[in-house]
Amino acid sequence: MKEFKKYFKLEASPADIYNALTNSAMIEIWSGEPAIMSTEPGSEFSLWDGEIVGQNIEFISDHKIVQNWFFGEESDSIVTIKLHPDKNGTNVEVHQTNIPDDAYENITEGWESDYFGSLRELFD
């Protein structure tokens, strides 16, 4: 199992980024795919038309999101996203643990291109 941690700089407020990551309609706008999302701890979510599924664990409005991503019966992976305000926008800290070795490259490329590449396009 592997771990991923990286900071991404976005030119938007923490509130705008939090909304883009937790509002189903906004997720569908920047991802271009169906999404199910709720800020209710314990609720299930689905992103990219079911490519990413899991359970929401914790939300601190405009600051923190914690989710459990499911990788079948093999493992669960905890994803923590923290939003740090910056004078020119927000530094987004992503930390994902317990990533299966065979999924690591796909996951890290997904964070770079699918998640934050798309979010950059949304906020530029």
Q: Grade residue 33 by pLDDT with cuts at 50, 70 and 90.
A: very high
* CATH class as words, domain 2-123: alpha beta
Provide the CA 64 distance to its chain's centre, in angstroms: 10
Rounded to a whole number of angstroms, the CA Rg of the chain reads 14
Domain spans, the chain: 2-123
pLDDT tens, residue by residue, 38-51? 999 999 999 999 88
pLDDT tens, residue by residue, 78-112? 999 999 999 999 999 999 999 989 889 999 999 99
Structure tokens belonging to residue 69: 């991503």
Please indicate, yes or no, whether the overall pTM of this predicted structure exceeds 0.85.
yes
Average pLDDT over residues 48-73: 92
Q: Crossing angle of helices 116-123/14-22, nearest 10°?
A: 120
CA–CA dist 111, 7 (Å, integer): 11
